[in-house]
């Protein structure tokens, strides 16, 4: 059984135009928004008024390229990354794209050092422009999100984009990701369930405080777990504030919960094959798909962007979705990534990308990885079908967005 996502936004066409004083801010926001849209299965493409060699692209050609993009199936968002663009240029772009039923939204991102009066300037210049027969949709915001000016933001997609930008916090933060310690069900090759940790899983839980202390020192940290026993037990010895999220629970395997992959292949052979064919969209009978997990952890991602240092202790499928968000892994490939047990992953977002540090402990643990087309657990996944399978083994010091 597969899940067909019906999104009310798929018929919307939105041209998002970024206005910033700092080119690095524009590059950063464009990358973040492109990655966020892709993670939510919203097709998005960036258009620049300069080619790779820096040669200017004619304005008419740029407009043609954008309009052609929107003729493709299920395209929703185009981001214009233009040089020397101002909010006062809005009427020109708005009137041009509106002819093709494309909404425009200007996002002006102002540096912290900007004058307080800057926020009131756009409203005066735009509303007095005689070219406008209808108010322009735009948002003006300060880097620290303390001052916001919103004008004619009407639809859900525009609101969603603005809310995302408002929640971005880049101030000296790191995010640590870890699966729970090895569980009893892991040893039995069973999926799902709510089992306790194995003796080796308990050792990992006892070692985790020292690992985190070495990484973070005296800096503040909050620990997020799922509501399931194995993550709670893994976080037991950590001397930090803890918050349990139901949204971080493992992917619900429905009627297959507590079964091994071999048992699933024997009892539900059609479902076993369907899941291998489209693991991201396949939904277990009475359970969830990876697409469902992405939808339910979106509030977690939004809160994660707002927070400072966070350690997330959760499950394999959920960590695949979170890691795919930060590292821009295609949705269809994300369910095939290996996320080993007893390994701590540190992500440090920067304006240039995400720095990845992988800290592997010397506490042994079983593999839980199943390769496509097989019901066997792969203990040494070195030559797997997905090029993203061993992405954690292959990360460089800085993994670009």
Q: What is the CATH number of the domain that holds 298?
A: 3.40.50.1240
User: 211 and 360: one domain?
Assistant: yes
* pLDDT, tens digit (0-9, with 9 covering 90-100), for 87-140: 888 888 888 888 888 999 999 888 765 555 555 455 455 555 555 456 788 888
Around Cβ 203, how many Cβ atoms within 10 Å? 19
CA atoms within 13 A on the CB side of 286: 4
Residue 4 lies in a domain: no
User: 359 and 287: one domain?
Assistant: yes
Give the range of the structural domain holding residue 71, as residue numbers without chain letter. Answer: 14-166
Is position 108 annotated as part of the catalytic site? no
Residue 255 lies in a domain: yes
Residue 380 lies in a domain: yes
- Comparing 369 with 116, which gets the higher pLDDT? 369
Chosen domain end from 143, 166, 189: 166
User: 288 and 385: one domain?
Assistant: yes
- Of these residues, 94, 108, 180, 298, which one is catalytic? 180
Residue 2 lies in a domain: no
pLDDT surpasses 50 at 196 = yes
User: 153 and 271: one domain?
Assistant: no
CATH of the domain at 147: 3.40.50.300
User: 263 and 228: one domain?
Assistant: yes
Is position 308 annotated as part of the catalytic site? no
- Of these residues, 81, 257, 288, 305, which one is catalytic? 81
Number of domains in the chain: 2
From residue 292, give the alpha-carbon distance in Å to each of 4, 19, 261, 280, 306.
11, 34, 21, 9, 23
- Are residues 207 and 344 in contact, defined by beta-carbon separation less than 8 angstroms? no
pLDDT surpasses 80 at 397 = no
Chosen domain end from 138, 166, 194: 166
Q: What is the mean pLDDT of the chain?
A: 86
Residue % of the chain over a pLDDT of 90:
50
pTM of the model: 0.86
Residue 3 lies in a domain: no
Distance CA 19, CA 179 (A): 40
- Are residues 15 and 48 in contact, defined by beta-carbon separation less than 8 angstroms? no
Is position 180 annotated as part of the catalytic site? yes
User: 180 and 121: one domain?
Assistant: no
From residue 61, give the alpha-carbon distance in Å to each of 53, 57, 67, 242.
17, 7, 10, 53
Chosen domain end from 122, 142, 166: 166
- Of these residues, 94, 189, 249, 250, which one is catalytic? 250
């Amino acid at each position: 059984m597969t899940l067909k996502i019906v999104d009310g936004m798929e018929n919307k066409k939105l041209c998002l135009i970024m206005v910033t004083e700092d080119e690095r801010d524009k590059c950063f926001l464009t990358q973040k928004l492109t990655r966020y849209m892709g993670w939510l299965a919203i097709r998005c493409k960036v258009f620049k008024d300069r080619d790779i060699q820096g040669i200017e692209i004619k304005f008419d050609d740029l407009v043609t390229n954008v309009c052609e993009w929107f003729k493709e199936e299920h395209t929703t968002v185009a981001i214009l990354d233009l040089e020397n663009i101002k909010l006062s240029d809005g009427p020109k772009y708005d009137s041009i794209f509106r002819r093709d039923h494309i909404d425009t939204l200007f996002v002006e991102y102002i540096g912290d050092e900007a004058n307080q009066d800057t926020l009131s300037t756009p409203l005066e210049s735009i509303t007095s422009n005689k070219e406008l027969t209808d108010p322009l949709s735009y948002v003006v915001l300060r880097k620290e999100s303390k001052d916001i000016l919103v004008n004619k933001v009407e639809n859900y997609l525009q609101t969603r984009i603005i809310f995302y930008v408002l929640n971005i916090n880049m101030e000296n933060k790191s995010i640590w990701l870890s699966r729970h310690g090895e569980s009893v069900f892991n040893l039995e090759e069973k999926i799902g369930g709510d089992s306790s940790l194995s003796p080796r899983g308990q050792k990992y839980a006892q070692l985790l405080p020292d690992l985190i202390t070495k990484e973070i020192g005296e800096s503040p940290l909050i620990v997020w777990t799922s509501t399931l026993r194995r993550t709670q037990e893994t976080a037991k010895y950590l001397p930090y504030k803890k918050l349990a999220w139901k949204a971080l629970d493992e992917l619900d395997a429905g009627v297959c919960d507590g079964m091994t992959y071999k048992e699933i292949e024997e009892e539900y052979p059609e479902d076993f094959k369907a899941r291998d064919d489209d693991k991201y969209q396949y939904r277990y009978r009475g359970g969830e798909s990876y697409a469902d997990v992405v939808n339910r952890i979106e509030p977690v991602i939004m809160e994660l962007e707002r927070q400072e240092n966070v350690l997330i202790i959760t499950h394999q499928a959920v960590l695949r979705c979170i890691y795919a968000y930060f590292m821009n892994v295609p949705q269809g490939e994300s369910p095939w990534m290996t996320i080993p047990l007893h390994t701590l992953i540190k992500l440090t977002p920067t304006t240039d990308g995400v720095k990845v540090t992988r800290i592997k402990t010397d506490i042994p643990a079983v593999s839980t990885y199943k390769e496509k087309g097989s019901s066997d657990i792969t203990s040494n996944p070195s030559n797997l079908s997905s090029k993203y399978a061993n992405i954690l083994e292959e990360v460089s010091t800085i993994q670009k967005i």
